Amino acid sequence: MSSVVHLFVPAKINRTLRITGYNVNKNLHTICSEFCAISLADEMFVEKIEDKKIKITVSGIFAKGVPNNEHNTLYKMAKAFFTHHGFLFGVHIHLIKNIPHQSGLGGASSNAAGILKALEYFFFSESQPVPQKILPTSFFSFAVGLHTPLSLIQSVGNDIPFFLGEFPRSQVSGFGEILSASCLPPPPSFGILLFNPRIVVNTAWAYQQFSNRSFPVLQNNIEYTNDFEPLIFSYFPDLYEWKNLLVECGAREAGLTGSGSAIFGMFGEEKDRQKAKKYFPEGICFEII
């Protein structure tokens, strides 16, 4: 029995993202998107404590601006869990922030899934041994078969179900709750060059721009399109130029992930990825999980 769960919770990119509708009553949009987990990950230590409180500490290269209180998605998920299952103990969560926030990489949702998996382990599976470290490659197979209602999970965030799913590459539709096997070909074999321009894009604002539009009827999702790109590129034209540069360097797929602002390129040849790296010295190379 362990009182500490040590997880590496992965980021994601959207290989495609189509906005398919808007529900006025819920004030939410529906999507059809290909989510793909990558090796970039936040690190979390979740410790079970006797004091019935939720304590959060944050460090890491992207810790600045991340709250350590009730405004953090970690806190919201933990509070929702305890409210539903009972506040039998408390937790101290230490988050090492390696995923840029407000960049379209799903860091907050991944964090929420991580704390939920840890709490589910403490509540329902603590008699079972837990790996010393839960790496990004094993994150999706840890603490499956959750006891927490989907509606409660999505009250915290609509991207969270993907990180609680079985597959690190999935087609995600509806409000984010419908998961199915990926329908795209496997990603190019030489990984990703990810560039974070440190531009903040508010996701809620980006979705609001689609509230009064007509939406396409999709025949399939085998199309490398992100509906946010025309909008975001109109405000930040440099992002458009950087995407095109990745393509010129040989990226098989390139684009905005989520509503941005991170830009990714997927490469089929290592020499092409290294060529692109010369143009993006701050770009970081990651692998597909």
* Residue 265: CATH number of its domain: 3.30.70.890
Name the pTM for this structure: 0.92
> 23 and 125 share a domain?
yes
Yes or no: say if 57 and 92 are a contact pair by the CB < 8 Å rule. yes
DSSP state of 68: S
In the chain, how many domains are there?
Answer: 2
Asked if residue 187 belongs to a domain, the reply is no
* Domain end call among 151, 181, 211: 181
In degrees, rounded to 5, the angle at the alpha carbon of residue 73 between the alpha carbons of residues 161 and 266 is 55
3-state DSSP call for residue 118?
A: helix
Distance, in Å, from the CA atom of 145 to the CA atom of 264, rounded to the nearest integer, reads 32
User: Tens-of-pLDDT digits for all 289 residues of the chain?
Assistant: 568 999 999 999 999 999 999 998 888 999 999 999 999 999 999 999 999 999 999 999 999 999 999 999 999 999 999 999 999 999 999 999 999 988 899 999 999 999 999 999 999 887 777 777 899 989 998 877 789 999 999 999 999 999 999 899 999 999 999 999 888 888 887 789 998 888 888 888 999 998 877 776 665 555 678 999 999 999 999 999 999 999 999 999 999 999 989 999 999 998 999 899 888 877 777 778 6
Residue 245 domain boundaries = 192-286
Based on its alpha-carbon atoms, the radius of gyration of the chain, rounded to whole angstroms, reads 19
Beta bridge partners of 7: 44, 134
